[in-house]
Copies of this chain bind each other. A is one copy, B any other.
Amino acid sequence: MAKRVSHRDSMCGVARPLDAIGDWWSLLIVRDAFDGKRRFGEFQKSLGLAKNILAARLRNLLAHGIMEAVPAADGSAYQDYVLTEKGRGLFPLLVALRQWGEDFFFEPDESHVLLVDRKNGLPVRRLELRAQDGRVVGAEDTMVRLP
């Protein structure tokens, strides 16, 4: 898939983002970053992936402006890896992924973490796509159109 980078211009609005993210690991790194993780070691321990792979994924995320390296918050000589504005833009995608997972990948009795409102601890609602007039729309109600 990486080869596609060359003719990025021909890539559609779905393939381009996918190409930038890189792979599944990258998305899990981003998820961890949303959870407040910032250090190389934190990501590595949390995800259990090889250090060379983590280094490569971080490099890619930096190169695509999804994360950025900043001086470590604890004053140590190391770096923190934090989400950029662009990276934080992935929040809805991660929520969509999580909600799909809740719908289809857990037994009814199986417990799983919940995404909750900080204010009151209540679970958030489902993501909803609405038309201009406010109707909730599904795939059947939409189509893609040239500009």
**What residues of chain A have their CB less than 8 Å away from a CB belonging to chain B?**
1, 12-20, 23-25, 27-28, 31, 34-35, 65, 86, 88-106, 111-125, 127-133, 135, 137-147
Given A124-B137, A142-B117, A145-B113 in contact, is the A17-B93 Cβ separation under 8 Å? no
Given A13-B105, A98-B13, A105-B13 in contact, is the A24-B20 Cβ separation under 8 Å? no
Number of copies: 2
Task: Please name 6 further chain A to chain B contacts, defined as beta carbons within 8 Å, in addition to the given A88-B139, A93-B96, A120-B132, sorted by A numbering.
Answer: A1-B25, A17-B104, A112-B147, A115-B142, A117-B135, A128-B128
A124: chain B residues at CB < 8 Å are: 129-132, 137, 142
- 26 pairs, CB–CB < 8 Å, chain A vs chain B: A13-B101, A14-B97, A14-B98, A15-B24, A15-B28, A17-B100, A18-B24, A18-B27, A23-B24, A86-B103, A86-B104, A93-B93, A93-B97, A93-B100, A96-B96, A111-B147, A113-B146, A114-B144, A115-B143, A115-B144, A116-B144, A116-B145, A117-B141, A120-B131, A120-B132, A127-B128
